[in-house]
Amino acid sequence: MKTKKFLKKLGIKSKIKGKITHLSLSNDHLDSKTAFIALKGQYHDALTDVNQKNLQNVGIVLTYKEMFHPKIIYIQNLKYRLSQMVSILYPQLLKNVSVIGVCGTCGKTTTATMITHLLKNNKQRVAYIGTGKIQYEDEEILTNNTTLNPIEFVHHFLNFKSKPQYLVLEVSSHAILENRINFIHFNALVFTNFSQDHLDYHLNMTNYFEVKKSLFLTLSKKDVAIINIDDKKGMDLIASIHSNVITYGKKFGKYTLKDYSREDVLSYNQYNLLATYALGKYFNIQEAIIQKTLDEYSFDLGRSQILYDKKFMVILDYAHTPNALKNLLMALKKQYQRKITLVFGCGGNRDKQKRKIMGKIAMRYATKTILTNDNPRDENPQDIIQDILKSGLQAKVILSRKEAIDYSITHAKENDIIAIVGKGNEDFQLIKQQKILHNDKQCILERLKSYE
């Protein structure tokens, strides 16, 4: 596309000659057909990467502030207009690709992963982009965010060996609010549930839900929303949207536990199974393929993952919100009726309101609690612990997560359940501005060697 035309579509008059064929967030390998987008991040300002050498090589530089150079173009609200740029330059990017989004506070990764397995078992080419990774065919790429920014998305999508027939995306509220997915038309959206999270970002629950709802309002009449109606906000969504709607719930909805259930999973995972079942029926996948996929699905990757169940049980879970923690502990108590030792913490520089709430949940549903670090980031870990203890919770404090895990297993009694929650399969701790290697599962398995 001619540079002048590209900029005109962004609302900018320019006489710059040449063509733009791709967009880049990196100053590596710039050429005369590249638009380099110089964003200002939390720790790095890409404008500092702009120098005389790459100004000679690059087509144009799009930046967040005005500068006096013919190739440097100021774009108001630059961070929020990346989707618009992708739509302009790659209008056919997702043509003939059915896009499925999974949205909700909890269950996004599990549901999106199940859906991906189901479509693969139905002999479809399906790409998955979600928490921590991109998967397509035999390739897996590790990523940082739940939902990629548009430029990263394009880079990875264009590098796929072939064009997928289906694309399954986890959609975060941050991505919706930051316009990261505005260039994507969703053919199907799954609503898992809604509960408190990210109030450091959204400020209150009303804002948080309105952001989620705004995604479903983009669906057309020929698209479908698959909605959990056991969640009150699911009913609110149905009243607002204009697309086809398929409902699911344990007792009520088009699809219920009478259609599909598994006795060997914790109760909240029944919803993830039902959401996948409903989507499979919508896409006319044979019942036998749906049943086989769900029957064989393994709940691993740090989500309701039982790592040991002999003298006592050790379960690893990603629960890091009040509702997820409550659902996990309630399900464990109901299903096993045993004493529970809970190991958890709360993230730094994130929603402080949920710390006291999670402390109250631990106090109500766990027999013993060990408080530890869970990505304290730039906060003092002791301050985070004190916020949790304001709930009145009596807990042992061991800031080292590895030592907390070791202690919980060493002091386990017969038939106890040790629930280690918050990080799931993450392989790091965020402390200050450092990413320190740590993996709960590895720590657990190392400590369990003496019990083999």
Please answer whether residues 211 and 176 qualify as being in contact, where contact means their C-beta atoms are separated by less than 8 angstroms.
yes
329-352 burial, b at 16+ Cβ within 10 Å, e below that, comes to bbbbbeeeeebbbbbbbbbbebbb
Separation CA 98–CA 94 (nearest Å): 8
Model pLDDT, residue 26: 85
Residue 197, pLDDT score:
64
- 226: helix, strand or coil: strand
Q: pLDDT value at position 266?
A: 82
Go through the chain and tell me how many residues it has.
452
Q: Which two structure tokens, joined as six digits, stand for 378?
A: 């730039």
Smallest Cα–Cα separation from 389: which of 409, 370, 402? 370
Q: What pLDDT does 263 receive?
A: 84
Write down the pLDDT at residue 239.
93
* Three-class DSSP labels, 234-253: HHHHHHHCCCEEEEECCCCC
If you search the block for the tokens 């952001």, which residue do you land on?
Answer: 211
Q: CA distances (Å), 80 to each of 62, 219, 443, in order?
A: 13, 21, 40
Would the CA dihedral through 217, 221, 222, 228 be positive or negative?
positive
pLDDT at 366: 98
Helix pair 381-389, 353-365: axis angle to 10 deg:
60
> Which amino acid does the sequence have at 244?
N
pTM of the model: 0.78
DSSP string, 277-329: HHHHHHTT--HHHHHHHHHH----TTSSEEEEESSSEEEEE---SHHHHHHHH
Question: What pLDDT does 293 receive?
Answer: 98
Rounded-to-integer distance, Cα 245 and Cα 104, Å = 16
What pLDDT, on a 0 to 100 scale, did the predictor assign at position 423? 95
CB 94 within 8 A of CB 83: no
118/290 Cα distance (integer angstroms): 7
Place of tokens 């990764």: 109
Q: What are the structural domains, with CATH classification, of the chain?
A: 3-89 (3.40.1390.10), 98-296 (3.40.1190.10), 305-451 (3.90.190.20)
The answer to whether the beta carbons of residues 113 and 131 sit under 8 Å apart is no
User: What's the CA gap between 91 and 79, in Å, rounded?
Assistant: 20
Phi and psi at 224, nearest 5°, equal: -135, 140
Q: pLDDT (tens digit, 0 to 9) for every residue of the chain, 452 residues total? A: 999 999 999 999 988 999 999 999 988 878 999 999 999 876 678 877 777 767 888 999 999 988 888 899 999 999 999 999 999 999 999 999 999 999 998 889 999 999 999 999 999 999 999 988 999 998 999 887 778 889 999 999 999 999 999 999 999 988 999 999 999 999 999 999 988 666 566 668 788 889 999 999 999 999 999 999 999 999 999 999 999 999 999 999 999 999 999 988 888 899 999 999 999 999 999 999 999 999 999 876 667 888 999 999 999 999 999 988 998 999 899 888 999 999 999 999 999 999 999 999 999 999 999 999 999 999 999 999 999 999 999 999 999 999 999 999 999 999 999 999 999 989 999 999 899 999 999 999 999 998 87
Structure tokens at 429: 């701790």
C-alpha dihedral (357, 362, 364, 368), degrees to nearest 10: -160
